[in-house]
Structure 1
Amino acid sequence: MIGLSTSAFYERATRQIGGLRSQAEKLQQQIGSGERLAKSSDDPVAAARMRMLERGERLAQIDQRNSGRAQTDLKIADQALGSIADVVIRAKELAMQAANQTISPEQRSAIGGELAGLRQSLLSIANGRNAAGHALFGGQATGAAYTYDETSATYVGTDGADLIGLGDGQSVDPAVTGPEVFAFEVDGTTTDIFAVLGNLASALQSGGDSSAAASAALAGLDAGLDKVTTAQTVVGGRLSWIEIMDQRREANGELVADEKAAVGGANLAATMTRLQEVMTVLEASQASFVRLSGLSLFGMMR
């Protein structure tokens, strides 16, 4: 009888002390990690919510990478558009000089040569590349946006680029196409800046009626500059939209972080207090076990 009672005593004491040690270890782990949930069974409802929040965070990270990629490409396009505007403005200055009937044939020829060089510069910019190495103004094209010779340029890109998702069902076009930048209408006729510059350069270098050609080209250059300015506005608007979505994502991220802390985070003050309580009980239980086990052994010896 004494043996059975002593065995039961030891078993109960071992379970009690083991349970207290397990609680203490769990509380210490929570304090060290700052997390309340070590496994789903600790709180199934909270664990399910935490998984949803973590999935949202992973999706937000994808959206952030997409945002960065779109922003980079649009900034490259914006810089290119600024260079295009500078070229067209310089071409307008030269066309106004060429329209002056008092300049010499040599001066007209020199202006024509510079205009031909400006046309080539625009073609080089038009066939620039984005961050991925694709045609900057070619839509989805991976090669050049334009093929050209000394008299003409042909757009060989696509109608547009793939939209890039920014999250919350929102997306952005990361580029503008060649026709959106370089093509326009003058007196109801569709043309492009390459044709305007090429025709003017040829007229000035050939010695024909360059004054009339220069005056006619100014209307095309004005229309071309308006088109470039419009493209700059479009790109600027898209960059602003990306910034708004980034700010919204950042704000949502802060809310998610707060909710994760509330749902799965450990309340350090309360946890430390609870740990102290458990450690006090554990120490008392161990001391009691030592005393009671000594009495049990003494009883058995008697």
Structure 2
Amino acid sequence: MPIVSTSTSAFYDRSTMDIADLRKRAEGLQADLSRGQRISRSSDDPVGASRLRQLQRAESLSQIDITNAAKATSDLQLTDGALSSLADYVIRLQELTTQAASGTMTGSIRAGIGTEIEAIRNNIIQLANSRDSAGNALFGGQSSGAAYTVDSAGNASYQGTATAGDLPLGDGQNVTRALTGPEVFGTTGGPNDLLAQLKTLADALKAGGAGAQQAAQDGLTALSQSLDTITTAQTVVGSRLSWIDLTTERRTNLSELRAQEESDVGGTDIAATVAKLQETMTVLEASQASFTKLAGLSLFRLLN
């Protein structure tokens, strides 16, 4: 009887284990269908799991590049808007200076023009101290304070850094996020210093005298050069924005390729998994039915 009892116990244990294994396999297939992934842990497919981790790290790094691209785009768009406003100011200054350069203008009219030029200069200084998307000086390079300061005599001087700084866009590509004050308004104290030239022009027109008309004529040359500088700066900003668009398009394509590879490596093959699940469920039902019939035979009842 001990041999018979042992055999009966082994039959039940083996049947229970087989049915439990089939149920576990069916539950696993159902879980794969539910989450759309066939790899839930590294042991399921060590090579595939390793590749998935690589793809996920690459995607995480790509998100950093996306953030940098968005910041650079925002700052460059702010720069482009400021340049457009500056161009409008310079065009208005050219109109006023052309009037002042005319020999028919009286001293009082030139003085009035000088006052308006002074007001526009103050607006340009405010524009030069615009803020970027992070609240730092837009034209101040990498400094956080004001790009320009004005002393008690009304002279404006640049306080920012020499470069605006680069932002990485991925794959070793970078973009300069903005322009510095000297690149737009000229070097402080240099021959192309727009703010200094406007102060000289406004002071000369308000003072009047024989030199006022000549100052206006000289101012026209300076303003024409300034407008050329602004146009060049707008071209530079536009090319940088186009570069960001190109890198963004490439990053999007790479992201789509990674997503496709993730699906190929770790994704669930719906058709194959459904077929396996149906097969497993059929075997499970057959095993349960067989176990029930065998356990119900009279021989087993007698042996027990």
Match of 1:175 in 2: 178
- Alpha-carbon distance in structure 1 between the residues aligned to 2:198 and 2:110: 14
For 1:130, what is the secondary structure of its paired residue?
Answer: coil
- Alpha-carbon distance in structure 2 between the residues aligned to 1:59 and 1:21: 40
1:132-211 maps to which residues of 2 (within 5 A)?
132-149=134-151, 150-183=153-186, 190-208=191-209, 209-211=211-213
- Alpha-carbon distance in structure 1 between the residues aligned to 2:204 and 2:119: 15
Match of 1:34 in 2: 36
Structure 2: runs of 5 or more not aligned:
none
For 2:168, what is the secondary structure of its paired residue?
Answer: strand
Moved more, 207-216 or 275-284: 207-216
For 1:190, what is the secondary structure of its paired residue?
Answer: coil
Question: Would the aligned equivalents of 2:197 and 2:219 in 1 still touch at CA under 8 Å?
Answer: yes
- Alpha-carbon distance in structure 2 between the residues aligned to 1:160 and 1:39: 48
For the aligned residue pairs, the C-alpha RMSD in angstroms reads 1.5
Give CA deviations for 1:64-103 in whole Å, capped at 9, x if unaligned: 0111011111111110011011101110111101011112
The amino acid of 2:181's aligned partner reads G
Give CA deviations for 1:156-189 in whole Å, capped at 9, x if unaligned: 110012211100111111010000001169xxx6
Question: Would the aligned equivalents of 1:184 and 1:227 in 2 still touch at CA under 8 Å?
Answer: no
The amino acid of 2:185's aligned partner reads F
The Cα of 1:259 is off from its aligned counterpart by 0.2
The Cα of 1:48 is off from its aligned counterpart by 0.2
The amino acid of 1:245's aligned partner reads T
Question: Would the aligned equivalents of 2:192 and 2:226 in 1 still touch at CA under 8 Å?
Answer: no
Give CA deviations for 1:255-288 in whole Å, capped at 9, x if unaligned: 0010000000000011011100000000000000
Match of 1:2 in 2: 4
1:283-302 maps to which residues of 2 (within 5 A)?
283-295=285-297, 296-300=299-303
For 1:165, what is the secondary structure of its paired residue?
Answer: strand
- Alpha-carbon distance in structure 2 between the residues aligned to 1:151 and 1:3: 108
The Cα of 1:104 is off from its aligned counterpart by 2.0
Match of 1:99 in 2: 101
The amino acid of 1:216's aligned partner reads D
Question: Would the aligned equivalents of 1:180 and 1:231 in 2 still touch at CA under 8 Å?
Answer: yes
Moved more, 67-76 or 102-111: 102-111
The Cα of 1:232 is off from its aligned counterpart by 0.8
The Cα of 1:105 is off from its aligned counterpart by 1.9
The Cα of 1:191 is off from its aligned counterpart by 3.2
The amino acid of 2:173's aligned partner reads Q
- When normalised by structure 1's length, the TM-score is 0.96
The Cα of 1:190 is off from its aligned counterpart by 2.3
The amino acid of 2:147's aligned partner reads A
For 1:171, what is the secondary structure of its paired residue?
Answer: strand
Question: Would the aligned equivalents of 2:93 and 2:117 in 1 still touch at CA under 8 Å?
Answer: yes
The amino acid of 2:199's aligned partner reads G
- Alpha-carbon distance in structure 1 between the residues aligned to 2:52 and 2:218: 68
The Cα of 1:244 is off from its aligned counterpart by 0.6
- Alpha-carbon distance in structure 2 between the residues aligned to 1:182 and 1:239: 21
- Alpha-carbon distance in structure 2 between the residues aligned to 1:184 and 1:57: 43
Moved more, 49-58 or 144-153: 144-153
Match of 1:25 in 2: 27
- Alpha-carbon distance in structure 2 between the residues aligned to 1:10 and 1:66: 64
The amino acid of 2:202's aligned partner reads A
- Alpha-carbon distance in structure 2 between the residues aligned to 1:140 and 1:52: 34
Match of 2:130 among 105, 128, 135: 128
Question: Would the aligned equivalents of 1:151 and 1:195 in 2 still touch at CA under 8 Å?
Answer: no
The amino acid of 1:54's aligned partner reads Q
For 1:191, what is the secondary structure of its paired residue?
Answer: coil
The amino acid of 2:41's aligned partner reads K
1:243 lines up with 2:252 in the alignment? no
- Alpha-carbon distance in structure 1 between the residues aligned to 2:196 and 2:162: 21
Match of 1:111 among 110, 113, 128: 113
1:216-255 maps to which residues of 2 (within 5 A)?
216-255=218-257
